Structure 1
Amino acid sequence: MDLRLLAALVLGIAAIVVVVLRTRLDAFIALLIAALLTGFVAGAPVTDVLNSITDGFGSTMGDIGIVIGLGVGVGKILEVSGAADALARAFVKMFGKGREPWAMAGTGALVSIPVFCDSGYVIMNPLARSIARRKKAGYVTLALALGCGMTLTHHLVPPTPGPLGVAGILGADVGGMILAGVVCTLVLVPLMVLYAKWIGPRLEEHVLPDVRGEVYSTATVTPDAVPTTHGSADSSTDDGAEHAGGLREESAAETPRRMPTWLAALPLVVPLLLIVVNTVATAIDQSARGVLDADDYEPSGIVGVLAFVGSPVVALLIGLVLAVYVLLPRVTTRNQVADWLSQAAASAGLIILITGAGGAFGQVLRDTGVGQELATVIASWSLPGVLVPFLVATLVRLAQGSGTVAMITAASVSAPLVGSLGVSPLAAAIACCAGSMVFSYFNDSYFWVVTRFTGLDGVAAIRGWSGITTVVWLGSLPLVLLAGAVL
């Protein structure tokens, strides 16, 4: 056992936590400092460490940077066009009376695939309030189901930036990530809804008086300010994500533009289907042609066409074009669209940098031999290999609060270990994402968004929001073990 290499890893992860929590610097800087510190402590020459950082950053960005940019663009157009609102109302109508928590969970899960959690929750929360006002009860249950539905897909399903970054760092297939993430979400939603329905009625009496008045009164307008966020970075959200500009109940003057559900879903469903169809068609063709190594495989014919249009870059480009030309009114000007896309790019910029810095950190771990040394140590434990990224993500999430930073850090640490641990890149990616959902609390800005809008404080906030995120984290553990066994 080379204690120097293991010390390099421990100091690198500690640097991330300390910089994010105790300084004015963000996760991007923290990951770069960790990469430098790890390389120096491991004894690598300065020039080699710098080359590893630039190589890792560049290769990661080449795989995933464009995709993240396009994905947040689609999400912004869904937000400003009213498509997100249309999808929410469709879910409520589909599930029917008495099943509103399921409708809220489904709404959150779908909307949060392209839209940042903070913004998505602010946009959708008025619908939960209006349902609770009509029922004169059940607001906490609806609010928790909505928020945690967003947490699930935001952590598990590309093209959310966090899972996309993890896929890029680990080399996991994006289509496979979508399929596995959707399956995990479908399994975890019932668990999450049951917890919301159990804890919600027990917390109704703890809702702050001003929020209770806003929800159950006949007023149509609520305070315009977004709750102040605390902690260093967001958890289910992406670091640096834009917070929407205010919570407004629907009024006659501000009724969202209505559109058919199928139209609202088109820019989201089409690229997801293209990516998934490409993954399935490629796997079938590889098997039929007896090609075992993906590097030796070259698609042709109809499979080649599907590989082109189903590549994440092309699929999301199609989705963005559909969003702009199908969802927005014809009178929308080019300048207005450019302004919206600029806002989306600004909110995604830090995520892209964090993802690239995570790739740089992983490359340093790989080139210095730290990753291989960690694999050797872990191999001496009687521990399933897939639990390594899961536990790393869990510990980093608890330490600094950001789910995105947790999963990117876990992917960076795990990338050099995947082969040695006998874990597929896809299974490792799912483990990183699932582990980062644990116990959202005070150092997570999304904790403050959900609890302030829900009107929960203190112990009630912990029981409600921290509890429901921990329930889905625990529920994901068997799924992670299953993924490690079959993927």
Structure 2
Amino acid sequence: MDLQLLAALVLGIATIVVIVLRTRLDAFFALLVAALVTGFVAGTPATKVMEAITEGFGSTLGSIGIVIGLGVGLGKILEVSGAADALAKAFVRALGKGREPWAMGATGAVVSIPVFCDSGYVIMNPLARSIARRKGFGYVTLALALGCGMTLTHHLVPPTPGPLGVAGILGADLGGLVLAGLVFALLLLPVVVGYARWIGPRLEDQLLPEVREEIYGPRASATVGGGGATVPGGGATVPGGGTGEGTGEGTPAPGAPLDEPNPAAALGEPPEGAKPHRMTAFTAFLPLLVPLLLIVANTVATAVDQNAQKALGSDDYDPAPVAEALAFVGNPVVALLIGLVLAVYVLLPRWTTRTQVGGWLSQAAASAGLIILITGAGGALGQVLRSTGVGDELAEVIASWSLPGVLVPSLIATLVRVAQGSGTVAMITAASVSAPLVPGLGISPLLAALGCCAGSMVFSYFNDSYFWVVTRFTGLDGVAALRGWSGITTAVWLGSLPLLLLASVVL
């Protein structure tokens, strides 16, 4: 490989890691600087580098920016309306006594599709505490299953921002990624529950005393030993702030008071004479289910229609009326618009004012802004890698290795995740680096997207803001936190490797 181009790639990725870890600047700035460094070291004229950056940024956001904004808005309404809490309770009732870890894992997986991990976990954690309080044991198992269930769909299933960004950068079919991500999440859920059940009882006596007292009462705290240390960095900002699983906005600092929020408290009290706000599981699920079904229906109908026309010998694809209609309503922008309208008018009570809804959507837009910028900057880096020839050179080298093609984007995402902590940044960076390599690796954009998303799940630890959310609310500290949370995220990453190899045979 040309050493100059190799140096451009290495220095570009190193720039991201150093800026995110060692400076006060965020991943958006890091990705843009990395694109500049890569272009200049590769010997590309400055004007050409800037043209590639603006082209990559614009083309990426042109396809995915609106979808990210709508997805975050939908998640905010599910959060403030209490719909996420209603879903959780429905899962617990449906799965029955003795299967609470499965209920918590499944709840986390469903809630985290539209809701960021950090806020979703804060909303759902009181339910895990309530179940453990009634049972008198098992809180660590429930808390870890809930948190890692959220990790699965947060990393694998659009309309979560990370997978959306990956699909946009790689040009992967969004409906196909929804289906494949859901299959991966379903197959990995037993790994989540199995690890949580194995490690949970081993860590139960290492709960921080104040958390044990809140869950089991003062008597339990006095009789069970272990875990007497306080959470380090009390009142400090979250390490890696703003670069973890979600936006980092609102992430509680380690050592902060453990509040158990009422999910629907933002709705306020009903006016005199108004009916109380009630939420059924079906109603809660509807705004999430409809967009997903429309996107998947679009993918399936288009594929069936194209294959049917090819079988009839037609070279130019002319969509049938039904396929064309589904292509419109199943477009991610239209599907999520429908979901957002359903959420506002079905989930929120009639006394909710326009000002309240506008305020919540404004908050959602603010939290989505950084993710949108990071996604666009990832597209800019990918375009620089293409235009400088770094991607082509790297593809030739990797093609000479015996490493399966699907593991290349997964390995890149893994390394970036461990280095800087953010799953979203890891998968977007991996997609940006992998995009020029996909043709040479002999894999489809969909398979490359799965590799990027799955590889980013590995070893959540101190530089990940979601690590602090889960371990603080769970009440684990030090080695116990690493064994519990870092261990369970690494377990699902390991479980994804054989699934990726299997998918490379099928897709």
Place the TM-score, normalised by the shorter chain, in its bin: over 0.9
One-letter identity of the residue aligned with 2:324: G
The answer to whether structure 1 residue 263 and structure 2 residue 283 are counterparts is: yes
- Unpaired runs of 5+ residues, structure 2, are 220-233, 270-275
Q: CA deviation at 1:247?
A: 2.9
Runs of 4+ in structure 1 over 6 Å off: 251-256
Name the CA shift for 1:242/1:271 in 2 (closer, same or farther; >3 Å).
farther
Match of 1:304 among 324, 327, 334: 324
Counterpart CA distance in 2 for 1:281 and 1:130 is 44
- Comparing 242-251 with 310-319, greater Cα deviation is found at 242-251
Counterpart mapping for 1:383-402 below 5 A: 383-402=403-422
Does residue 108 (structure 1) correspond to residue 116 (structure 2)? The answer is no
- Counterpart position of 1:230: 239
Shift of 1:227: 8.6
**Following TM superposition, by how much is the alpha carbon of 1:252 offset from its aligned partner in structure 2, in angstroms?**
13
1:164 aligns with 2:164: yes
What SS does structure 2 have at the residue aligned with 1:265? helix
1:248 aligned to which of 233, 236, 260: 260
Match of 1:284 in 2: 304
Distance 1:241 1:178, change over 3 A: farther
Partner of 1:407: 427
* Cα-to-partner distance string for 1:306-329 (whole Å, 9 max, x where unaligned): 000000000000000000011001
Tell whether the 8 Å contact from 1:126 to 1:247 is kept in structure 2 after alignment: no
Partner of 1:75: 75
Taking a change above 3 Å as real, the CA distance of residues 333 and 367 of structure 1, as seen in their structure-2 partners, is same
Q: Distance in 2 between matches of 1:299 and 1:242?
A: 46
Q: Is the Cα contact below 8 Å between 1:155 and 1:163 reproduced in 2?
A: yes
Q: Find the aligned partners of 1:257 and 1:352 in 2 and give their Cα distance.
A: 34
Give per-residue Cα distances to partners, 1:240-296, cap 9 Å, x unaligned: 44448973266999999541111000100000000001101111111111189x995
Where does residue 247 of structure 2 map in the other structure? 239
1:300 positional shift? 3.1
Q: TM-score, normalised by structure 2?
A: 0.91
Matched, 1:424 2:436: no
Pairwise CA distance, 1:342:
0.3
1:56 matched to which residue of 2?
56
Report the Cα distance in structure 2 between the residues aligned to 1:239 and 1:111, rounded to whole angstroms: 16
CA 1:398–1:233: 2 relative to 1, 3 Å = farther
- Measured in 2, the distance between the counterparts of 1:51 and 1:92 equals 53
Aligned 8 A contact 1:227 1:452 in 2? no
Partners of 2:388 and 2:437 lie apart in 1 by: 13
Change (3 A) 1:352 1:251: closer
Contact 2:199 2:484 in 1 (8 A): yes
Tell me, yes or no, if the aligned pair for 1:390 and 1:436 is still in contact at 8 Å: yes
Matched, 1:192 2:192: yes
Residue 222 of structure 1 aligns with which residue? none
Q: Are 2:470 and 1:450 aligned?
A: yes
Match of 1:371 in 2: 391
| Counterpart-to-counterpart distance in 2, 1:438 and 1:65 | 26
Q: Which residue is 1:322 aligned to? A: 342
Mark the CA change 1:296 to 1:430 in structure 2 (over 3 Å): closer, same or farther.
farther
Alpha carbons of structure 1 residues 47 and 470: separation in structure 2 relative to 1, 3 Å: same
Q: In 1, distance between residues paired with 2:438 and 2:205? A: 48
Identical counterparts, % of pairs: 76
How many residue pairs align between the two structures? 480
Paired amino acid for 2:95 = F
CA distance in 2 between partners of 1:232 and 1:260 (Å): 36
CA–CA distance in structure 2, aligned partners of residues 249 and 26 of structure 1: 29
Between the aligned partners of 2:249 and 2:129, the Cα distance in structure 1 is 24
